[in-house]
Amino acid sequence: MAQKQKAILAGANFNNKHHFSDSMKELFYLADACDIEVVGAITQKLQREDTVYYMGKGKIQEVLSLLDQNDAAMVIFNDELSPSQIRNLEAVLQCRIIDRTVLILDIFAQRAKTREAKLQVEIAKLQYMLPRLIGLRASLSRQGGGAGLRNRGFGETKLELDRRKILDKISRLHRELEKLVVQRQSQRKKREKTQIPVVALVGYTNSGKSTIMNAMIDLYHSSDDKQVFVKDMLFATLETSVRHIKFPDNKSFLLTDTVGFISKLPHQLIKAFRSTLEEVTEADMMIHVVDYSNPNYEQQIEVTKATLKELGADNIPIIYAYNKIDLVDGEILDIERDCVYISAKNKAGIYQLTNAIRQKIFTHYINCELLIPYDKGNIVSYLKDNANIKSAAYNSDGILISMECREADYKRYQGYVN
């Protein structure tokens, strides 16, 4: 087994921010997700960022001492560093310098499975690298592994690319990605024609979005071949999954599972994944999934809200699903509007969640009676699959159907209204 790389965490708390300690704890988990062993941490309170070293020069000397004491060869900083900061830090510390953005990009690179996700991550990595190319050329060569964490991605192969070659590669990847985006848009237009409502699962990474999707699939489908990947780790889901959820009364909606958000999510990733996240912006409503067991859940809610606003998806109707209540001590009082308290893992509260969804998205339904001629069996078959038929009577003129259906279907078959 390869020995884990040892690293020191370094973070500056600018203007005494309340959630700084949570941010550092999250940095630890990000490092752990990249299989890095954290052996120490240095923090400092500052009014503003030091443009030369990010932290004060005295603190950087403390980092140097900590590196020597723990035989570490890497320092991970809690914010995105400028090219000059990386260059200056490497000159003093003589080790690999990683920032929070690189950690997140590396995790995305590991998790990406589909061609679209891989293209998006590669574009984000190159966009991060581009302004740092000149300042990092010497240091990357010395590191051998590049600004990334393995001998790939940011590594030595990228050193052979000058600025023009990187720009050309970004353009080429964008063109390839655009073809996949057109396919996605075409699929979305087909879904829009069916007028089936779309509900998007959004929220902080590892809050349980995919688990909720699987719980709904379990409740309303007998087959397990539509399950989505679930694992207790950061950014388990990078690909947008869409599943058709159909209730016993034939009312249905499309449920989409999207990439999770995180504090200080690199803008390169938001930009690269914008085509995927368009699924959120065009949804009829959102389920904002919250890890209620996380002590920092309120801050995570604010991060998700800010990201949704950046995407232009902050005006879509929303339900808050406070998840993982099985891990919360004490009584939970369900008193807020548009909130449901659930344990997706145990399927507790899923029916309450689906009822809340029903109340919000199935508003354009009409109760009516249609008299369908006997030679129009295709219409009857369609209505059996897509409407809630309450009764059917056979008489001399045809089948008299009493039902609840979508307004679009009512207009489509208005000529048969009894």
Q: Which two tokens stand for residue 237?
A: 């889901």
- Tell me what pLDDT residue 334 has: 63
Q: Which CATH superfamily is domain 196-361 in?
A: P-loop containing nucleotide triphosphate hydrolases (3.40.50.300)
Q: Closest Cα to residue 109, out of 46, 60, 152?
A: 152
Question: Which pair of structure tokens corresponds to residue 137?
Answer: 């050329």
Q: What is the model's pLDDT at position 92?
A: 94
| 246, two tokens | 């159909």
Q: Which fold has domain 5-159?
A: Rossmann fold (3.40.50)
State the sign of the Cα–Cα–Cα–Cα dihedral 76, 78, 80, 84: negative
5-159 and 196-361: identical CATH topology: yes
Say which residue, 12 or 129, is predicted with more confidence: 12
Instruction: Count Cα neighbours of 388 within 13 Å in the Cβ-side half-sphere.
Output: 15
pLDDT beyond 70 at 225: no
Q: How far is CA 214 from the centre of its chain?
A: 16
Asked whether the predicted pLDDT for residue 74 surpasses 50, the reply is yes
Mean pLDDT of 258-263: 83
- Burial class for 395, CB neighbours closer than 10 Å (0-12, 13-18, 19+): exposed
Q: What is the DSSP string of 5-73?
A: EEEEEEEEEETT-TTHHHHHHHHHHHHHHTTEEEEEEEEEEESS-BTTTBS-HHHHHHHHHHHHHHT--
Q: What is the pLDDT of residue 146?
A: 41
**Span 47-67, average pLDDT:** 93
- Domain residue ranges in the chain: 5-159, 196-361, 365-416
d(CA 291, CA 341): 10
pLDDT averaged over the chain? 84
Question: Is residue 321 scored above 60 in pLDDT?
Answer: yes
pLDDT at 152: 45
pLDDT at 226 over 80: no
Q: Which residue has the higher pLDDT, 228 or 145?
A: 228
Q: Note the pLDDT of residue 27.
A: 93
Count of helices and strands (H, E) across the chain: 15, 13
The confidence score (pLDDT) of residue 68 equals 93
CA nearest to 29, candidates 212, 205, 241, 219: 205
- With a cut of 90, say whether residue 275 has pLDDT above it: no
Residue 55 is encoded by which pair of tokens? 């932290």
